[in-house]
A = this chain, B = another copy of it.
């Protein structure tokens, strides 16, 4: 069940250069939220018509609040960053399929890159068994201490070397060569592709959360497709509705 709400903003602050944290109040979205799902935020500035999809970073079911972390990359996210505490934001959600949280134990390898890191926070809170987290950033890492609250091992790579390993997260993983039962990942396309290939080599199942430009966000308009392996031939699936989380075998990388 999706909800269209005008949600009260409890927080909307810059937490790192050009990175904002928003917390808004919504009982409905809070109750139905799930790791890997996302919401649509609407700018309502008259000029930008399409919603901005943002992943759920954390859900507080007791306080009915949803936390988002978003980067200012263009006009829409800039508009959204101007909203003040107490203002209402138009939100549609929760949307998408979310990650499959394994019921059983086992070893989880969770890999995030850049602005793909936030949705993994809610994920690790739900995972059973033991979890190792790898996070990659260009610079200015975020959320590291928070991940450490829930998992024992958090490894970080930064491209500028300001924190942890200097370089990208895949190098770090290949160095560590971690043993695990499954992989969860979210981040930029090239990283996901590499993670997918690595997981395949290791023969690990992997769930990858993709991004694509969207319009409706609910599966009706078919603009957000990604190439996947169908039964016989390849087919276009909808990132917003059939995803954003796909298994590594499904995705056909271009």
A: which residues have CB within 8 A of B? 45-48
The quantity of this chain's copies bound in the complex is 2
- Say how far A74's CB is from chain B's closest CB, in angstroms: 14
Residues of chain B within 8 A of A46, CB atoms compared: 45-48
Please, which residue of chain B has its CB at the minimum distance from the CB of A47? B46
A147 to B46, alpha carbons, bound, how many Å? 40
A15 to B126, alpha carbons, bound, how many Å? 56
Residues of chain B within 8 A of A48, CB atoms compared: 46
A189 to B46, alpha carbons, bound, how many Å? 32
- Say how far A43's CB is from chain B's closest CB, in angstroms: 9
A47 to B43, alpha carbons, bound, how many Å? 12
Residues of chain B within 8 A of A47, CB atoms compared: 45-47
Residues of chain B within 8 A of A45, CB atoms compared: 45-47
Query: What would be 7 A-B contacts, judged by CB atoms less than 8 Å apart?
Result: A45-B45, A45-B46, A45-B47, A46-B46, A46-B47, A46-B48, A47-B47
A178 to B45, alpha carbons, bound, how many Å? 52
Please, which residue of chain B has its CB at the minimum distance from the CB of A46? B47
- Say how far A133's CB is from chain B's closest CB, in angstroms: 40
A45 to B82, alpha carbons, bound, how many Å? 13
A45 to B45, alpha carbons, bound, how many Å? 6
Interface centre among A46, A47, A48 (most CB of B within 10 A): A46
| Shortest Cβ-Cβ A-B pairs, 7 listed | A46-B47, A46-B46, A45-B46, A47-B47, A45-B45, A46-B48, A45-B47
A45 to B48, alpha carbons, bound, how many Å? 11
A45 to B47, alpha carbons, bound, how many Å? 8
